[in-house]
Structure 1
Amino acid sequence: MEPTLSRSNWTFVTNHARILAMILRDSEIRLRDLAESCRITERAAQAIVTDLDTAGYLTRVRHGRRNHYEVTPGTLFRHPAEGQHEITDLLHLLVDLAPPAGATGHPDGGHGERDRHG
């Protein structure tokens, strides 16, 4: 019998979207940092970057020992329900909400709802 996944483990944003947003923020981010931020293995992060590259959502160019990534402007969501919208609209929302690289805590400076209201 296969293990049942907890229904409480789902999220609204996929790792593909997270990685693309992180690349939009830092075009020379390392796979190690992508993986750590998404809480996945480097191999899984590499597979996601390959998916995004193959599907045309980003390009990557090797600069010495580092990769330089660029998010492709004008690309649309893959699902027909959102297919008329550009993916960068979502990415900009995610980038604006996320703390700067190296920062910790809540996007509002470390204060969640509970902290604001007592």
Structure 2
Amino acid sequence: MTADHSSWTFLTHHARVLVEIAKDPGIRLRDIAVGIGITERAVQGIVRDLYQAGYLTRDRVGRRNHYSLNLEQHFRYPTEAGMPVRLLIDLFAEHDLPDGDTQ
């Protein structure tokens, strides 16, 4: 980002992490951190938040985690609460996701 531009963005880190997981359900947390420019510890906290709120599940596959998204879970903010997160993922993920609840 250059000095001419403000540092704010439209998407939160939570949204960015969700999109990265949608693109690659087997992605490592350190790769998410590098990709979106935050610490691995911050990504761990965000994944914990998303897990506790029901936006994702995680399964251990060997030494790594594999994530599944609940795309029908609704946004949390009142003005968007009637819309599923699938809308965000469909907009920002670079591939089509299945019609089911999880990836």
Give the shorter-chain TM-score range.
Answer: 0.7 to 0.9
Q: Which residue of 2 aligns with 1:37?
A: 35
Task: Show structure 1 runs of 5+ residues with no match.
Answer: 1-6, 98-118
Greater relative contact order (CA < 8 Å, ≥ 6 in sequence): 2
Equivalences for residues 1-118 of structure 1 within 5 A: 8-96=6-94
Say which SS state the counterpart of residue 9 (structure 1) adopts.
Answer: coil
- In 2, Cα distance between the equivalents of 1:12 and 1:73? 20
Q: Return structure 1 stretches of 4+ with deviation > 2 angstroms.
A: none
* Count of matched residue positions in the alignment of Structure 1 and Structure 2: 91
Q: Quote the offset at 1:73 in angstroms.
A: 2.7
Is the Cα–Cα contact under 8 Å of residues 24 and 91 in structure 1 kept in the other structure?
Answer: yes
Q: TM-score, normalised by structure 1?
A: 0.73
Q: Quote the offset at 1:96 in angstroms.
A: 3.2
One-letter code of the match for 1:96?
Answer: E
One-letter code of the match for 1:31?
Answer: L
Say which SS state the counterpart of residue 22 (structure 1) adopts.
Answer: helix
Is the Cα–Cα contact under 8 Å of residues 23 and 94 in structure 2 kept in the other structure?
Answer: no
- In 1, Cα distance between the equivalents of 2:6 and 2:71? 34
The CA RMSD over aligned residues, in Å, is 1.5
One-letter code of the match for 1:50?
Answer: R
The superposition leaves residues 55-105 of structure 1 with CA deviations (integer Å, 9 ceiling, x where unpaired) of 0000001111100000013100001101111111111111139xxxxxxxx
- Matched residues, percent identical? 51
Task: Show structure 2 runs of 5+ residues with no match.
Answer: 96-103
Say which SS state the counterpart of residue 72 (structure 2) adopts.
Answer: coil
